[in-house]
Structure 1
Amino acid sequence: MKRKIILCFSALITLLTTIGAQEHLNPEDRAVDMDSPTFVPMVHIGKAKVNGDSVQYVRTNNIYVFPPMEFKDAKQREAYNRLVYNIKKVLPMAKECNQIILETYAYLQTLPTKKERDEHMKRVEHGIKEQYTPRVKKLTYSQGKLLIKLIDRETHSTGYELIQAFLGPIRAGVYQAFAWMFGASLKKRYDPKGSDRLVERIVLQVEAGQL
């Protein structure tokens, strides 16, 4: 878990300090289509034995049903649509970060010595900085703050925990103060049942291919 936290740190710190060819596009470079799903809904077709007979079945994504959104005015509706847009923009990027962490963590387990693991970690850190610095510069401030939240959702680690694991408590305090100046907190957890309830509702629908 600690190595997972360390691997995610570089992407997070780059985000905090820089926010404000068709065959392969980074997720954040793809045009957001508000009328089409961001993720393709999963459909799995298989067979199961039932009383000696082979029965075909189809398994799909979960389907989430929520009460219809009610808006007091056009401004509130616009804010909701903007949140949906931003989530569709940065959620694939947050999932990509988590996948990189998982794959790198698995590879670290194959290295026999601490020296080899440390050297590989340095290469990973350099690669993350090199890859993500130009990418996060393209995000708006709101999208950057949202990405920090969604990385926490995917990795189950707060920004403060990431920095503390990599640079220690003093530097973590410095970056916490930096984030506080911009109205954010690295210690605040993603709260899907509280302050982030609407974000979680949209994320679930986007993941399921409903938005």
Structure 2
Amino acid sequence: MKYLLSLVAVCLVTTISSGQVTKKDTTEIEKPLVGTDTIAKMPIELEEVYISNKRDFKSEEERKRFYILQRRVLKVYPYAKTAADRLTALNIGMKDLKSERDKRKYFKLVENYLTNEFEGQLKKLSRKDGQVLVKLIDRQTGSSTFELIKELKSGWKAFWSNNTARLFDINLKTKYDPYTVAEDLTIEGILYKAFSDGRLPKQAAKNDVSYIKYVKAWKESHKTITTEEK
């Protein structure tokens, strides 16, 4: 988890405004969205789904898992969005430096400053928050957290970063794949609804992302959405 926090902190090249990060929810389950809720009321069975106006949970436990996941997505998405923005800015800044020595000095200064500034905020993330954040970083940047660490740091540190994260059940090589991973499809649905409602600021994903396309693909394969919660 330590290296995941360092990577996100490094990506936050400019100060995060207080409005960018969702305030911590002290309740275990976030209240359902109000109004026309095309995601929170979406049927679990994908063969019934074309963004319907109703979602029927099979059990109270399934309902809880969904709203817990929704809360996590709303909580960590601002970090992933900012990481994508600042990673671009960091790369531009590095290109302006001529020597490798200057680049290392610049990177180290930024890393130290931002780690001190934001590590406290990021440490508040739980293990599961970190798992969702890794997926969203891949969604927004087009690269896994492991790949970003390898690019910004030495390969040796990338190796240890991944193995350290595994101790916390966080695989930094995890990719975001709504086509085949049920939880990722659920996450994309949560984002789709949150963008539509203005609950989250929309940022184009690095790669082509289409929630409707994902839903149709799952419908054709006759799979069922299930949100796993450890």
Query: Normalising by structure 1, what TM-score?
Result: 0.65
Structure-1 residue corresponding to 2:190: 202
Structure-1 residue corresponding to 2:202: none
Partner secondary structure for residue 115 of structure 2: helix
- Contact persistence 1:152–1:190 (CA under 8 A): yes
Gaps of 5+ in 2: 11-16, 36-49, 200-230
| Bigger fraction of residues in strand | 1
Alignment identity in percent?
A: 24
RMSD over aligned Cα atoms: 3.1
The letter for the 2-side match of 1:200 is E
Give the Cα–Cα distance (whole angstroms) in 2 for the partners of residues 25 and 176 of structure 1: 30
Q: How does 1:179-198 map to 2 (within 5 A)?
A: 179-195=165-181, 196-198=184-186
Partner secondary structure for residue 193 of structure 1: coil
Gaps of 5+ in 1: 1-7, 15-23, 38-64
Query: Normalising by structure 2, what TM-score?
Result: 0.61
Structure-2 residue corresponding to 1:95: 81
Q: Which has the higher contact order (CA 8 A, sep 6+)?
A: 1
Matched, 1:10 2:6: yes
Deviation at 1:210, TM superposition (A): 5.9
The letter for the 1-side match of 2:118 is Y
Deviation at 1:77, TM superposition (A): 0.7
Structure-2 residue corresponding to 1:40: none
Give the Cα–Cα distance (whole angstroms) in 2 for the partners of residues 30 and 36 of structure 1: 19
Aligned residue among 64, 67, 86 for 1:78: 64
Aligned pairs, number: 168
Aligned residue among 116, 120, 124 for 2:110: 124
Give the Cα–Cα distance (whole angstroms) in 1 for the partners of residues 162 and 113 of structure 2: 24
Aligned residue among 23, 27, 32 for 1:30: 23
- List structure 1 runs of 4+ shifted beyond 3 angstroms: 26-29, 31-37, 107-118, 166-171
